[in-house]
């Protein structure tokens, strides 16, 4: 092994400075915004000794290394404040950076009591969830220094000033727990004002607020029947005076004109023959518009937004057009995405277009059955005024394919674009390797996150659901935090989670916001409710945020106490659970019927949440709680071992998820017992033919449990498996996102007949975090990556792999490449951090920031010459891919059905031989198998660790 660090010149500079958790706008939601900065230098071993911050002539010096989420050192911001902040820093060797570029920090919040706007809507709606237009004119008679619009909605709105949209946000202000929490937008609209008459216009639709939630025919509205809007426009004049225009009865309201109907699940109906051009400008005659209705619904006072909004992120062109068997024109965008269509069309007045959306095709037609009650259909009527452009405003769809009916004349694919929507998060993580399918899998994980991080973290974006399932996010949070800067997004969602708990005596609902009030009988559900403890801890681990733990601590404690009330002597058992949801062995109509007992899942999560809560309490200074929960955590862990782990090293449920939980949650601490459990887990994985045998709970844990237990080979085989069920099986079928079920698309290309079939569910993509941390070898060793862990573990089947992550301290990367029997590693460690390096076959060591390179011998087992035949064990066959393929090929030549039966139904154990597997086949077939297996032998296989 060799080590080295590249030297460089000392030209350090501040590469980035931001306030709080958003970098898309300068607005902050708190009077005391925390500051973070990164240093970039070509030198090595750069550690900050001090930093200076200056704002409006005041300079504050801070001693030490802290550069992430540093407390605001100046006087608190007041509402409407705008400050400029700069930073410079110096290293322990005396190298100082220049001052950074100035950062504008703008208070986006209002002072307590300043929110005076009333919610307004349509006075006499004709039907539920009717789109609305609101309007108010006002006069500007003197120079304006600054104008800010604060607004929110029960629904989704698109404000404009003098006919120009005030921002580029979509579906704003998004979905929150409406009865407890609303967010307001803060937009500087100074540039949109004109002298004289001005007009505020608002398009408004029900969106999530008026949607019906539930399953099958039991869906109903949870919040309200009609949308409403509230806003206040503050005008600060150069003469020092100010005025505020608020929503009240002086506003006018009309129906949505061309926006006839809109729903999240249903889609949108647009009739351009009803359009009212320039309705939001001063020249429009709105005298016939009736006064707005004052909505008397009790609402919480809105708070400033902390998460980035939904925006149009990109557009995708049509990749292919074809005609379905029924004669429909179907567009293929080449990627399962979330958004809607924008089309430009010319046709006669009254021409009607129908746009339907689906993720996959079934027999050449749109597969609409998986959408269940979601129509996902947009309808457009042309005005006939020449070239017209349309894009729905208050809905979104999950789709790769779209069918357009009614297009006038010859269809032009260039006239249609797919507009991709999601919360505007900053990309921070990347992975690449020598394996094309694995790279596509990772890309599918990214697209799955993009489609489901839309205002809230949803389970799926296409059917009549799109809900914030807590269990999905709980397992995916580490992956999300690597791929995108998710801190503000998840902080916002956790606030809703905590508020929803308060209505349930600490129990976390399975979906947040809570719109399935009777689902699950109101009982705590393991792995789902544990999002209350796990997600804040992940945010602390990945972003170095202690404040998120302080803020969420009451929620974390409330959840654990709710579980303790239904547990006995440290065990959580005999209650309703979803368990290891969607274990592939579960019947299609019983997805909770997993191989592992749900009591094992529940008790493991109780012990884990207790441990997280104890560690959190200690970290934030809750010493009494820390002592109490530490004791309960140890008691629960010991009870788990006593109840579910045999002295021989078996789990009472002899299923992979049981072992993965015991190992990955550190419930078993004895070294020898852990080795026995890891051995048995590896045996089970091999017995399953290196195919997935775990559900939502076990799948994110199993590769870690294997690799940590010294079974990297088995973990690698599992990751690179292409037979169903496996991560790569959907990729071989053309998947461009992560599926809900391993077989959402069956082998014959038809859609799984189950009622619950989605082609965009991110939970099973949580394995990407293991790919980052272990396969590539990049992980946090201290909160926020203040210390990086570099520990690549090359797996068989890969020639190279790399992970890059934009940590809170700057870009970190680890990449390795095989060169014969040597593996070369190149790593980049950000300034003001260190790295612990753990290379195979060597003791751990520490390096400072900068570029580094090492080499080590590739670890392989040289096995003596192996011969395969009818007396070979099935374990030996499955462990040699060539022998496995030879066996199946020989059988398939005579009996394809039998080969498929062997592939799907065989337990590949060390106690069973090939001749026993073939005991009911013809002697001729057995002889051919023997010949095929013999041709595989007489060589020395190499198995990478």
- Report pLDDT digits (tens) over 688-727: 999 999 999 999 999 999 999 999 999 999 999 999 999 9
Lookup: tokens for 43: 């030198």
What confidence score (pLDDT) does residue 128 get? 96
> pLDDT per residue over 875-898, tens digit each?
999 999 999 999 999 999 989 999
- Which helix or strand (DSSP H or E) is residue 861 part of? strand 860-862
Percent of the chain with pLDDT over 90: 93
Is the pLDDT reported for residue 851 higher than 90? yes
| Residue 859 pLDDT grade (very low, low, confident, very high; cuts 50, 70, 90) | confident
Can you tell me the distance from the alpha carbon of 501 to that of 560, in angstroms, rounded to the nearest whole number?
Answer: 12
Are 255 and 286 in contact by the 8 Å Cβ rule? The answer is no
Residue 29 CB contacts under 8 Å (≥ 6 apart), including other chains: 20, 108, 109, 303, 304, 305, 306
What confidence score (pLDDT) does residue 522 get? 85
Closest by alpha carbon to 737, among 451, 426, 363?
A: 451
Is the pLDDT reported for residue 520 higher than 90? no
Candidate list 185, 258, 740, 828, residue with the active-site label: 740
Residue with tokens 């600490």: 506
Are 412 and 281 in contact by the 8 Å Cβ rule? The answer is no
Q: 3-state class of 673 per DSSP?
A: helix
| Residue 860 pLDDT grade (very low, low, confident, very high; cuts 50, 70, 90) | low
| Residue 426 pLDDT grade (very low, low, confident, very high; cuts 50, 70, 90) | very high
Q: What is the pTM of this model?
A: 0.96
Are 392 and 340 in contact by the 8 Å Cβ rule? The answer is yes
| Residue 24 pLDDT grade (very low, low, confident, very high; cuts 50, 70, 90) | confident
Closest by alpha carbon to 677, among 692, 657, 695, 691?
A: 657
Residue with tokens 């395969």: 868
When pLDDT is averaged across residues 531-549 and rounded to a whole number, the result is 98
Strands 82-91 and 103-107: what pairing? Answer: antiparallel
Q: 3-state class of 923 per DSSP?
A: helix
CA torsion sign for 636, 638, 641, 643 is negative
Active site residue 901: no
Active site residue 885: no
> pLDDT per residue over 464-481, tens digit each?
999 999 999 999 999 999
Task: Please state which of the ranges 355-364, 579-588, 654-663 shows the lowest mean pLDDT.
Answer: 579-588
Is the pLDDT reported for residue 399 higher than 80? yes
Can you tell me the distance from the alpha carbon of 170 to that of 420, in angstroms, rounded to the nearest whole number?
Answer: 11
Is the pLDDT reported for residue 555 higher than 50? yes
Can you tell me the distance from the alpha carbon of 282 to that of 650, in angstroms, rounded to the nearest whole number?
Answer: 77
Can you tell me the distance from the alpha carbon of 314 to that of 631, in angstroms, rounded to the nearest whole number?
Answer: 51
What confidence score (pLDDT) does residue 215 get? 87
What's the full length of the chain, in residues? 945
Separation in Å, CA 660 to CA 30, 273, 678, 741, 797? 41, 61, 8, 20, 24
Residues forming beta bridges with residue 854, ordered by sequence position: 3, 825
When pLDDT is averaged across residues 88-106 and rounded to a whole number, the result is 97
Upstream peptide bond of 347 is cis (omega within 30 degrees of 0): no
| Residue 222 pLDDT grade (very low, low, confident, very high; cuts 50, 70, 90) | very high
What confidence score (pLDDT) does residue 5 get? 40
Can you tell me the distance from the alpha carbon of 100 to that of 870, in angstroms, rounded to the nearest whole number?
Answer: 72
When pLDDT is averaged across residues 541-553 and rounded to a whole number, the result is 98
Residue 293 CB contacts under 8 Å (≥ 6 apart), including other chains: 120, 121, 122, 123, 124, 228, 253
Task: Please state which of the ranges 237-241, 507-511, 546-550, 936-940 shows the lowest mean pLDDT.
Answer: 936-940
When pLDDT is averaged across residues 766-789 and rounded to a whole number, the result is 98
**Please, what is the average pLDDT of the chain?**
95
- Other C-beta atoms closer than 10 Å to the C-beta of 130 total 23
Candidate list 118, 359, 465, 880, residue with the active-site label: 465
| Residue 943 pLDDT grade (very low, low, confident, very high; cuts 50, 70, 90) | very low
What confidence score (pLDDT) does residue 823 get? 98
- Which helix or strand (DSSP H or E) is residue 161 part of? strand 156-161
Task: Please state which of the ranges 184-188, 837-841, 857-861, 931-935 shows the lowest mean pLDDT.
Answer: 857-861
Residues forming beta bridges with residue 147, ordered by sequence position: 235
| Residue 589 pLDDT grade (very low, low, confident, very high; cuts 50, 70, 90) | confident
Is the pLDDT reported for residue 1 higher than 70? no
> pLDDT per residue over 251-269, tens digit each?
999 999 999 999 999 999 9
What confidence score (pLDDT) does residue 720 get? 98
For Cα atoms 844, 845, 850, give the angle at the middle one, nearest 5 degrees.
130
| Residue 8 pLDDT grade (very low, low, confident, very high; cuts 50, 70, 90) | very low
């Amino acid at each position: 092994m060799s080590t080295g660090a590249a030297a460089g010149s000392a030209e350090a500079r501040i590469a980035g400075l931001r306030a709080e958790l958003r970098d898309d706008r300068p607005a902050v939601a708190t009077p005391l915004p925390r500051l973070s900065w990164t240093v970039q230098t070509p030198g090595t071993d750069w550690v900050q000794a001090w930093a200076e911050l200056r704002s409006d002539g005041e300079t504050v010096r801070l001693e030490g290394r802290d550069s992430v989420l540093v407390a605001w050192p100046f006087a608190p911001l007041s509402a409407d404040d705008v400050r400029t902040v700069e930073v410079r820093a110096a290293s322990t060797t005396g190298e100082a950076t220049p001052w950074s570029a100035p950062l504008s920090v703008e208070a986006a919040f209002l002072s307590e009591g300043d929110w005076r706007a009333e919610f307004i809507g349509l006075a006499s709606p004709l039907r539920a969830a009717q789109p609305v237009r609101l309007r108010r004119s006002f006069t500007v008679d003197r120079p304006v220094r600054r104008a800010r619009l604060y607004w929110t909605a029960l629904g989704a709105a698109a404000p404009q000033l003098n006919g120009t949209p005030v921002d580029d946000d979509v579906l704003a202000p998004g979905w929150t727990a409406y009865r407890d929490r609303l967010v307001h937008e803060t937009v500087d609209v100074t540039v949109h004002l004109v002298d004289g008459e001005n007009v505020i216009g608002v398009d408004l639709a029900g969106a999530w607020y008026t949607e019906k939630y539930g399953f099958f025919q039991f869906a109903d509205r949870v919040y309200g029947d009609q949308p409403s809007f509230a806003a206040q426009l503050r005008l600060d004049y150069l003469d020092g005076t100010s005025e505020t225009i608020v929503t009240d009865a002086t506003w006018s309201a009309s129906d949505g004109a061309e926006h006839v109907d809109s729903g999240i699940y249903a889609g949108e109906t647009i009739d351009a023959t009803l359009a009212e051009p320039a309705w939001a400008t001063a020249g429009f005659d709105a005298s016939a518009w009736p006064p707005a209705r004052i909505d008397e619904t009790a609402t919480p006072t809105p708070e400033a937004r902390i998460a980035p909004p939904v925006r149009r992120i990109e557009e995708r062109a049509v990749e292919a057009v074809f005609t379905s068997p029924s004669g429909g024109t179907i567009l293929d965008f080449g990627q399962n995405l979330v958004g809607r269509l924008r089309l430009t069309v010319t046709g006669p007045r009254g021409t009607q277009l129908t746009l339907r959306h689906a993720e996959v095709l079934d027999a050449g037609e749109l597969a609409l059955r998986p959408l269940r009650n979601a129509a996902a259909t947009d309808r457009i009527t042309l005005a006939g005024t020449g070239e017209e452009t349309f894009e729905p405003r208050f809905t979104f769809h999950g789709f790769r394919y779209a069918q357009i009916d009614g297009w006038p004349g010859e269809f032009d694919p260039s006239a249609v674009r797919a507009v991709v929507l999601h919360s505007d998060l900053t990309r921070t993580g990347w992975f690449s390797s020598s394996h094309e399918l694995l790279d596509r899998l990772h890309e599918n994980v990214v697209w799955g996150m993009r489609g489901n991080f839309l205002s809230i973290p949803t389970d799926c974006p296409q059917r009549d659901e799109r809900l914030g399932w807590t269990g999905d996010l709980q397992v995916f949070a580490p992956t999300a935090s690597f791929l995108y800067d998710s801190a503000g997004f998840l902080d916002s969602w956790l606030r809703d989670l905590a508020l929803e708990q308060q209505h349930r005596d600490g129990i976390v609902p399975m979906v947040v916001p809570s719109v399935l009030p009777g689902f699950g009988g109101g009982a705590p559900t393991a792995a789902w409710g544990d999002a209350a403890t796990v997600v804040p801890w992940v945010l602390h681990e990945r972003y170095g945020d202690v404040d998120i733990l302080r803020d969420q601590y009451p929620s974390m404690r409330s959840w654990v106490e709710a579980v303790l009330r239904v547990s006995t002597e440290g065990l959580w058992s005999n209650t309703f659970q979803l368990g290891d949801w969607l274990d592939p062995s579960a019947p299609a109509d019983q997805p909770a019927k997993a191989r592992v007992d749900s009591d094992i899942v529940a008790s493991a999560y109780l012990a884990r949440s207790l441990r997280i809560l104890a560690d959190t309490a200690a970290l934030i200074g809750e010493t009494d709680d820390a002592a109490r929960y530490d004791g309960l955590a140890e008691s629960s862990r010991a009870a788990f071992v006593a109840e579910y782990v045999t002295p021989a090293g078996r789990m009472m449920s002899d299923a992979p998820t049981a072992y993965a939980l015991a190992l990955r949650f550190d419930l078993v601490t004895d070294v020898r017992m852990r080795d026995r459990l890891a051995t048995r887990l590896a045996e089970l994985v091999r017995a399953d033919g290196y195919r997935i045998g775990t559900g939502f709970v076990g799948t994110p844990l199993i590769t870690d449990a294997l690799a940590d237990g010294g079974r990297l080979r088995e973990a690698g085989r599992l990751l690179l498996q292409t037979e169903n069920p496996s991560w790569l099986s959907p990729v071989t079928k053309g998947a461009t996102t992560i599926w809900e079920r391993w077989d959402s698309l069956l082998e014959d290309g038809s859609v799984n007949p189950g009622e619950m079939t989605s082609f965009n569910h991110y939970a099973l993509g949580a394995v990407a975090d293991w790919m980052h941390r272990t396969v590539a070898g990049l992980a946090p060793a201290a909160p926020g990556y203040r210390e990086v862990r570099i520990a690549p573990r090359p797996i068989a089947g890969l020639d190279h792999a790399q992970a890059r992550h934009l940590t809170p301290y700057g870009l970190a990367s680890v990449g390795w490449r095989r060169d014969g029997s040597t593996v070369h590693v190149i790593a980049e460690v950000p300034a003001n951090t260190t790295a612990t390096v753990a290379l195979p076959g060597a003791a751990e060591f520490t390096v400072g920031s900068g570029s580094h390179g090492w080499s080590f011998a590739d670890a392989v087992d040289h096995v003596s010459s192996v011969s395969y035949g009818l007396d070979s064990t099935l374990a030996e066959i499955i462990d040699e891919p060539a022998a496995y393929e030879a066996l199946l090929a020989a059988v398939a030549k005579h009996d394809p059905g039998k080969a498929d039966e062997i592939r799907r139904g065989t337990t590949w154990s060390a106690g069973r031989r090939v001749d026993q597997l073939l005991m009911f086949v013809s002697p001729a077939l057995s002889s051919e198998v023997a010949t095929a297996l013999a041709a595989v032998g007489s060589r020395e296989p190499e198995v990478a660790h």
